[in-house]
Amino acid sequence: MTEERDPVVDTDFDAYVDDQLAPSRRIEVEAYLSARPELAARVMADLRARDELRLAMTSAEGAPMPATSAAARRLSRGLASRRHGRLLQRAASIGVLVCAGWLAHAAIGPVTEVVASTPPPAFVGDALRAHTTTLVRASMVSQPETADYDEAEIRAATGIVMPNLPNGWKVLDAQIYPSQFGPSVELALESPELGMMSLFAVRPGNFNVVEVTVDSSTENTAAYWQIGEVAYALVGKTDSRELDRAADRLAHTLY
pLDDT one-digit tens code per residue, 227-252? 999 999 999 988 889 999 999 999 99
- The continuous run of DSSP H or E covering 66 comes out as helix 66-77
Task: Check residue 47 and give its pLDDT.
Answer: 79
Task: Say what the pLDDT of residue 124 is.
Answer: 93
What is the chain's mean pLDDT, rounded? 76
The half-sphere exposure of 237 on its side-chain side, counting CA atoms within 13 A, is 6
Q: So what's the pLDDT on residue 36?
A: 85
Region 18-46 average pLDDT: 83
- DSSP character at residue 164: P
Question: Could you tell me which of 253, 136, 141, 154 has the C-alpha nearest to residue 198?
Answer: 136
Asked whether the beta carbons of 197 and 238 are under 8 A apart, the reply is: yes
Spatial CB neighbours of 137, under 8 Å, sequence gap ≥ 6: 143, 145, 173, 175
Q: How confident is the model at residue 125 (pLDDT cuts 50, 70, 90)?
A: very high
* Cα 199 to Cα 132, 137, 167, 171, 232, distances in angstroms: 12, 15, 16, 10, 7
* Calpha distance 28→34 (Å, rounded): 10
Vertex 100: Cα angle to 98 and 104 (nearest 5): 115
Residue 246: per-residue pLDDT: 94
C-alpha pair distances (Å), 162 with each of 127, 131, 176, 185, 246: 15, 17, 13, 9, 15
pLDDT score of 58: 54
Q: What is the pLDDT of residue 145?
A: 64
Residue 53 reports pLDDT greater than 80: no
pLDDT tens-digit readout, 136-188: 776 775 566 666 788 899 999 999 999 999 999 999 999 998 888 999 999 99
Q: What share of the chain is helix, strand, coil (3-state, %, to 5)?
A: 45, 20, 35
The three-class DSSP label of residue 115 is coil
Query: Does the pLDDT of residue 94 top 70, yes or no?
Result: no
pLDDT over 90, % of the chain:
32
The Cα–Cα gap between 72 and 51 comes to: 12
Q: Ranked by mean pLDDT, which of 56-60, 93-97, 108-112, 122-126 comes out on top? A: 122-126
Q: What whole-number distance in Å separates Cα of residue 153 and Cα of residue 249?
A: 23
Q: Which residue has the higher pLDDT, 62 or 217?
A: 217
What is the reported pLDDT for 79? 38
pLDDT at 226 over 60: yes
Give yes or no for residue 31 having a pLDDT over 90: no
Backbone angles phi, psi at 170, to 5 degrees: -120, 135
Higher pLDDT, 143 or 80: 143
Give Cβ neighbours of residue 43 (< 8 Å, ≥ 6 apart): 13, 16, 17, 33, 209
Is the pLDDT at 127 greater than 60, yes or no? yes
pLDDT for the residue 56:
60
pLDDT at 111 over 50: no
More confident residue, 141 or 215: 215
With a cut of 50, say whether residue 112 has pLDDT above it: no
pLDDT-derived band at 66 (thresholds 50, 70, 90) equals: low
Domains of the chain: 10-108 (no CATH), 122-252 (3.40.1000)
pLDDT for res 114: 38
